[in-house]
């Protein structure tokens, strides 16, 4: 099996894990009438992403996010064909997670929260949602470059990235769902039919990722 195929399998598994545990925690919160809470949802996303990156990062780099992959592409760290195969794999993993959650939970539960699909909060408009997702994804991708890409990185595995996800959700969860990840939104949306304001979760994360990746790659990273 080629390295690219192994990497694509890893990307599908990692994105599946993030979406299954992340969206699943939101559906479980609905089932328990708020028993998981914002902190629990943030920890669920952060912990599973930390473990998936630590476990599979050596195989694929641990993107698990089309916006992150696009950040690698625009900084010429990945070729176009490899980037496309990563994104397709991520979306497949996310959709499988959404379909499995739909099979596990009864409709009366998952329909309350659109199967855990990130949604705009009350009073948050389309443009504001994009802005919030840009900023949250900027922090995420800066943490990826600083803890996984830069040769000066601390030896902390994926936990710096996972903690950033958790922190972003604690702030942005009630506003936009703090997706930071088109696949994280697409998988549950396709399985549950919740495509309202869906473009927010592609436009915002991609812009935020490109800004952060370009900034770190051109200015912050140490040049030889």
Q: What is the pLDDT of residue 157?
A: 85
**Domain region containing 77:** 3-220
Q: What is the pLDDT of residue 138?
A: 98
- Residues 89-113: tens digit of each pLDDT: 999 999 999 999 999 999 999 999 9
Q: What is the pLDDT of residue 224?
A: 65
- Residues 110-152: tens digit of each pLDDT: 999 999 999 999 999 999 999 999 999 999 999 999 999 999 9
CATH of the domain at 207: 1.20.1080.10
Q: What is the pLDDT of residue 136?
A: 98
- Residues 51-93: tens digit of each pLDDT: 999 999 999 999 999 999 999 999 999 999 999 999 999 999 9
- Residues 147-190: tens digit of each pLDDT: 999 999 888 989 999 999 999 999 999 999 999 999 999 999 99
The count of structural domains within the chain is 1
Asked if residue 223 has pLDDT above 80, the reply is no
Evaluate whether 148 touches 104 at the Cβ level (below 8 Å): no
Evaluate whether 183 touches 111 at the Cβ level (below 8 Å): no
78/86 Cα distance (integer angstroms)? 10
- Please enumerate in sequence order all residues whose Cβ is within 8 A of that of 40, keeping only pairs 6 or more positions apart, or say none: 25, 29
Number of CB atoms found within 10 A of residue 62's CB: 24
- Residues 17-47: tens digit of each pLDDT: 999 999 999 999 999 999 999 999 999 999 9
Asked if residue 222 has pLDDT above 90, the reply is no
Q: What is the pLDDT of residue 203?
A: 98
Q: Quick check: pTM over 0.85?
A: yes
- Location of structure tokens 């909060």: 121
């Amino acid at each position: 099996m080629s390295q690219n195929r192994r990497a694509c399998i890893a990307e599908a598994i990692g994105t599946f894990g993030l979406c299954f545990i992340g969206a699943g925690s939101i559906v479980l919160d609905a089932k328990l009438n708020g028993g998981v809470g914002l902190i629990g949802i943030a920890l669920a996303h952060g912990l599973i992403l930390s473990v998936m990156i630590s476990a599979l990062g050596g195989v694929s780099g641990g993107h698990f996010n089309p916006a992150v992959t696009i950040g690698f592409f625009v900084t010429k760290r990945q070729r176009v064909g490899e980037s496309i195969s990563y994104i397709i794999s991520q979306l497949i993993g996310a959709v499988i997670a959404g379909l499995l959650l739909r099979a596990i939970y009864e409709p009366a539960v998952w329909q309350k929260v659109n199967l855990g699909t990130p949604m705009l909060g009350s009073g948050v408009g389309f443009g504001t949602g994009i802005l919030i997702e840009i900023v949250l994804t900027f922090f995420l991708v800066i943490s990826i470059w600083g803890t996984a890409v830069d040769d000066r990185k601390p030896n902390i595995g994926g936990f710096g990235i996972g903690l950033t996800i958790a922190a972003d959700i604690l702030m942005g969860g009630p506003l936009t769902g703090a997706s930071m990840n088109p696949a994280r939104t697409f998988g549950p949306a396709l399985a549950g039919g919740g495509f309202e304001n869906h473009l927010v979760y592609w436009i915002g994360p991609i812009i935020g990722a490109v800004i952060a990746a370009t900034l770190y790659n051109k200015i912050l990273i140490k040049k030889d």
